């Protein structure tokens, strides 16, 4: 997969098969679109192209919402590589770009700058200024500008339409297993290990405190989770762990932390990067009557996590 960070970096293709959208999460609905995109490209001897944007348009147009993303840009690129996509264009989204009319978007960008001969579009896709463009517009423009359009119907799971918004809601509520079902992978958090207060070490549960690499990345609801821990920059095998996200009310915490206790692991991780993958929420955040009660609960959390991991 070739990656371009602006439309200006991309040379028009002679037979581009194109889809466009934010594709945050690269969830099962997105994968259905990309699978169809690649199938159409192979069938017609074309090349598959995804035009996406960064930042997310809502982060630019509605900054007060403080939208959090399912993927960092690095994660999104890696997920898209696994789909067999040919070309990925990540175009900078700005207020100026948002004023592009639907006609200009189709004529100047999809046709002239990319070379679209076929479009594969999701069931509820809108584009252009004020989201004025629709599937019906594309059907009208197609004969004029020399491209065909295929529409993808809604992808449902148990009668619930899959969307990035629904996945964000699941993660925010701590129903991580529902989010993982929609994503078809374990939700990740990536960051660097930084120094903490070492309270966990005194309790026999040393933790690595994670500082996220991307501030716009969503974090799961406060609580304790069973996670797998990956070490991206060395040859260490992934380990099981217990992650706590929260304010640490038992010890009077003043800000939210992300801490992971790695099972059966000894070593100095300061300054290293870790990638956590969330499997299951064990419990919500709780305040205990002192450190001894907290220690007893941590022991129960570890036992529950180990029992869970034996089922995988």
* pLDDT tier at 160, thresholds 50, 70, 90: low
Distances (CA, A) of 269 to 57, 88, 199, 266, 272: 36, 34, 16, 9, 5
Instruction: Please check the confidence at residue 216 and state whether its pLDDT lies above 80.
Output: yes
pLDDT in tens, 285-300: 999 999 999 999 999 9
Parallel/antiparallel/unpaired status of strands 87-92 and 47-54: parallel
- Where helices occur in the chain by DSSP H, the ranges are 28-43, 57-61, 73-81, 95-98, 102-104, 135-145, 164-172, 176-183, 199-202, 291-309
Q: How far apart are CA 110 and CA 137, in angstroms?
A: 14
Least confident interval from 118-132, 201-215, 231-245, 293-307: 118-132
pLDDT in tens, 121-143: 876 777 888 788 788 888 899 99
Check residue 272 and give its pLDDT: 94
- Above pLDDT 90, what percent of the chain? 78
DSSP classification of residue 252: T
What tokens were used for 41? 């490209």
Q: Which positions ≥6 away from 217 have C-beta within 8 Å?
A: 68, 69, 71, 72, 189, 190
Instruction: Please check the confidence at residue 157 and state whether its pLDDT lies above 50.
Output: no
Q: Which of 80, 63, 65, 91 is nearest to 25 (CA)?
A: 80
Q: How far apart are CA 193 and CA 274, in angstroms?
A: 7
Q: Which positions ≥6 away from 22 have C-beta within 8 Å?
A: 52, 53, 56, 57, 164
- Average pLDDT of the segment spanning 210-231: 96
Q: Residue 195 burial by CB count (10 A; 0-12/13-18/19+): exposed, middle or buried?
A: exposed
Q: Which of 72, 14, 26 is nearest to 50 (CA)?
A: 26
- Average pLDDT of the segment spanning 247-255: 88
- In CATH terms, the fold of domain 186-309 is Elongation Factor Tu (Ef-tu); domain 3 (2.40.30)
Q: How far apart are CA 263 and CA 198, in angstroms?
A: 17
Check residue 192 and give its pLDDT: 96
What tokens were used for 46? 């074309």
Check residue 25 and give its pLDDT: 97
pLDDT in tens, 97-109: 999 999 999 999 9
- Average pLDDT of the segment spanning 249-265: 92
Check residue 154 and give its pLDDT: 63
Check residue 29 and give its pLDDT: 87
Q: How far apart are CA 110 and CA 168, in angstroms?
A: 30
- In CATH terms, the fold of domain 2-161 is Rossmann fold (3.40.50)
The ranges assigned to domains in the chain are 2-161, 186-309
Instruction: Please check the confidence at residue 279 and state whether its pLDDT lies above 70.
Output: yes
- Average pLDDT of the segment spanning 200-204: 80
């Amino acid at each position: 997969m070739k990656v371009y960070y602006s439309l200006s970096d991309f040379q028009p293709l002679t037979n581009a098969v194109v889809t466009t959208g934010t594709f945050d999460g690269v969830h099962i609905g997105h994968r259905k679109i990309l699978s169809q995109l690649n199938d159409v490209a192979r069938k017609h001897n074309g090349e598959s192209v995804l035009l996406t944007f960064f930042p997310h348009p809502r982060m630019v147009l509605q900054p007060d919402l403080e939208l959090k993303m399912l993927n960092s840009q690095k994660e999104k690129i890696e997920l898209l590589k696994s789909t067999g996509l040919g070309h990925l264009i990540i175009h900078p989204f700005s207020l100026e770009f948002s004023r592009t009319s639907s006609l200009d978007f189709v004529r100047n960008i999809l046709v002239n700058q990319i070379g679209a001969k076929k479009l594969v579009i999701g069931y509820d896709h809108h584009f252009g200024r004020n989201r004025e463009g629709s599937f019906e517009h594309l059907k009208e423009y197609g004969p004029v500008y020399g491209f065909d359009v295929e529409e993808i119907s809604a992808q449902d799971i148990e009668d619930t339409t899959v969307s990035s918004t629904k996945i964000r809601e699941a993660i925010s509520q701590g129903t991580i297993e529902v989010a993982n079902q929609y994503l078809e992978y374990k939700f990740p958090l990536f960051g660097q290990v930084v120094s903490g207060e070492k309270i966990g070490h005194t309790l026999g549960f040393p933790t690595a405190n994670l500082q996220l690499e991307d501030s716009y990345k969503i974090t799961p609801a406060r609580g304790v989770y069973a996670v797998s821990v990956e070490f991206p920059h060395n040859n260490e095998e992934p380990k099981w762990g217990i992650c706590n996200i929260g304010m640490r009310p038992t010890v009077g915490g003043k800000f939210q932390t992300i801490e992971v206790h790695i099972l059966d692991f000894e070593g100095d991780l300061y300054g290293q990067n870790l990638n956590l993958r969330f499997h299951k929420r064990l419990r919500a955040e709780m305040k205990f009557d002192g450190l001894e009660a907290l220690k007893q609960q941590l022991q129960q959390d570890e036992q529950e996590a180990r029992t869970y991991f034996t089922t995988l």
